Structure 1
Amino acid sequence: MLSVSAQRTPLKITACEDNNGQIRSLGRSVSLLINPAQLVHERRTCFSSAKPMGDVASGRQFSHMPPGKLSFTVVLDGTGAVPKPALSLLPDDVDGQIQALGDIIYDYKGVSHQPCIVEILWGRMLFTGRLTSFNVTYTLFKPGGAPLRATAALAFDSYTSRKKSQLKAARSSPDLSHHVEVQSGDTLPLLCERIYGDSRYYADVARFNGLRNFRELPPGTRLHFPPLE
């Protein structure tokens, strides 16, 4: 959990789109009147529930990494007691503030057939994600029922473009095929350790590539590392 104290710079949420793997601003954003008192940034790893027969406490195999999560609560104020930041475009009333916030993070966009990707910027933190929940609680009203203050609990899943995810997986996953150009100082066991996490596959890789002398790998040699089965 990441606790962040209030700062003069307001938290800013910008509507974005995925343009062929590049996150691009749509030119629309909203800055909060009151910064959150706390942010929760969750990261998890998941492991397989299956255990090999005869396993003796070796631990479960890694399965996948779900998207990171960011959650925080926003205070929306229409009493006029909270001064608006310079150049703030937020409406004065609570309903207007909720609508302005929802237009950035929640409203369905016909062109992309989904709500916007958003970038959340505060201090040194930059989180790219998509909204998963938007719960508003009204806490103060005018005599006629119009809200004067509300809190909005927001939660987001992190977003990475499919293109970037595929490139990242191709660099790191032992379940995918790899083509590597040998650099000075590389050895086959070292490359196997780097790609598969286990140097013992060097003999299999040598046979797969038809190497007769795997102990000397000339720089520039192209090797194919097949996926693990």
Structure 2
Amino acid sequence: MATSAAALTASGMKQPLTLSACNADERAGSYTVISGKSYQLQINPSDFKHSRSICYNTKVPLGAPRSTLKYKAMGPETVSFSAVLDGTGVVPRLQGFNTPLEVADQIDAISEIIYNYDGEMHEPPYVQLLWGKLVFYGRLQTFKSDYLVFKPSGVPLRAKLDLEFLGSSSSQSTELAANKSSPDLSHVVEVRDGDTLPLLCLRIYGDSRYYTAVARHNGLAEFRRLMPGQRLHFPPLE
């Protein structure tokens, strides 16, 4: 029997916001996180905006005194937030993740996931934002860096990033949105060589102890030996 997402909850545990580069399968209407291309924020955002919009046809017919708002389409969702990066050493580094010490290197690592042009895809990557119950797929629209504190040499010790993402919704995800309990809305990862279930849980949830619940959720009889190419579902935390 599959384990519910609620069984994955650890009370009082900090859940860092995770940014992951994704491949998009337009035919299947799904997204797959690229193994090894995830970044967890040391400091969670203090502000977070999630906007939705609806597009209407506002064209005024000839001779009409006013236009009627006729539905045209659902507008893209947007997510925006600010993230503080620290290079002073005051903020503890996340256990199990090799977060760069220098602010400039942290920005480079984030850029590699959400901004840099991919020569194989011939475009920047799709991005998954994972934070608690939120699972958002889209693409970067704005990336602004404000440097706040510096060493005497001019090397930045702290920076604030202002990030904005434009949502990307497939036909499949639109249909699934009507069924919030569907396990297909969970985090999907394609196993790569060297991946283990505890390591994947550490990468996604920030704690490897979820591996037994994830194994039950996926019906794995043997979780110690994962096969490359295998697709696993990781339910969002509740």
Assess same fold via TM > 0.5: yes
**1:11 maps to 2:20:** no
**1:121 maps to 2:127:** no
Q: Which has the larger radius of gyration?
A: 1
Residue 154 of structure 1 corresponds to which residue in structure 2? Answer: 163
For residues 60-75 of structure 1, the aligned pairs below 5 Å read: 60-75=69-84
Once residues 96 and 75 of structure 2 are traced to their aligned partners in structure 1, the CA distance between those partners, rounded to angstroms, is 38
Q: Is the 8 A contact 2:148 2:159 kept in 1?
A: yes
Return the offset for 1:58.
Answer: 7.5
Task: Give per-residue Cα distances to partners, 1:69-95, cap 9 Å, x unaligned.
Answer: 000011000000101121122101101
Q: Is the 8 A contact 1:74 1:152 kept in 2?
A: yes
TM-score normalised by the chain length of structure 1: 0.65
Return the offset for 1:157.
Answer: 0.3
Match of 1:30 among 12, 29, 39: 39
Return the offset for 1:7.
Answer: 7.0
Once residues 121 and 7 of structure 1 are traced to their aligned partners in structure 2, the CA distance between those partners, rounded to angstroms, is 15
Match of 2:86 among 69, 72, 77: 77
Q: State the SS of the aligned residue for 1:67.
A: strand
Q: State the SS of the aligned residue for 1:108.
A: coil
Return the offset for 1:55.
Answer: 4.8
Percent of residue pairs bearing the same amino acid type: 39
Question: What is the aligned residue count?
Answer: 161
Once residues 111 and 22 of structure 1 are traced to their aligned partners in structure 2, the CA distance between those partners, rounded to angstroms, is 19
Q: State the SS of the aligned residue for 2:75.
A: coil
Return the offset for 1:115.
Answer: 0.8
Once residues 120 and 143 of structure 1 are traced to their aligned partners in structure 2, the CA distance between those partners, rounded to angstroms, is 35
The root-mean-square deviation of aligned C-alpha atoms, in Å, is 2.2
Task: Give per-residue Cα distances to partners, 1:46-86, cap 9 Å, x unaligned.
Answer: 21121335657673211222210000011000000101121
Q: Structure 1 segments of 4 or more deviating over 4 A? A: 53-58
Q: Is the 8 A contact 1:39 1:72 kept in 2?
A: yes
Once residues 18 and 46 of structure 1 are traced to their aligned partners in structure 2, the CA distance between those partners, rounded to angstroms, is 25
- Note closer, same or farther for the CA distance 1:72–1:89 as it changes in structure 2 (3 Å cut): same
Q: State the SS of the aligned residue for 1:98.
A: helix
Q: Is the 8 A contact 2:58 2:67 kept in 1?
A: no
Flag structure 2 segments of 5+ consecutive residues without an equivalent.
1-11, 176-238
Q: Is the 8 A contact 2:150 2:156 kept in 1?
A: yes
- Note closer, same or farther for the CA distance 1:74–1:68 as it changes in structure 2 (3 Å cut): same
Residue 111 of structure 1 corresponds to which residue in structure 2? Answer: 120
Q: State the SS of the aligned residue for 1:109.
A: coil
Task: Give per-residue Cα distances to partners, 1:17-69, cap 9 Å, x unaligned.
Answer: 11232211111100001000111001011211213356576732112222100
Q: Is the 8 A contact 2:54 2:73 kept in 1?
A: yes
Return the offset for 1:137.
Answer: 0.4
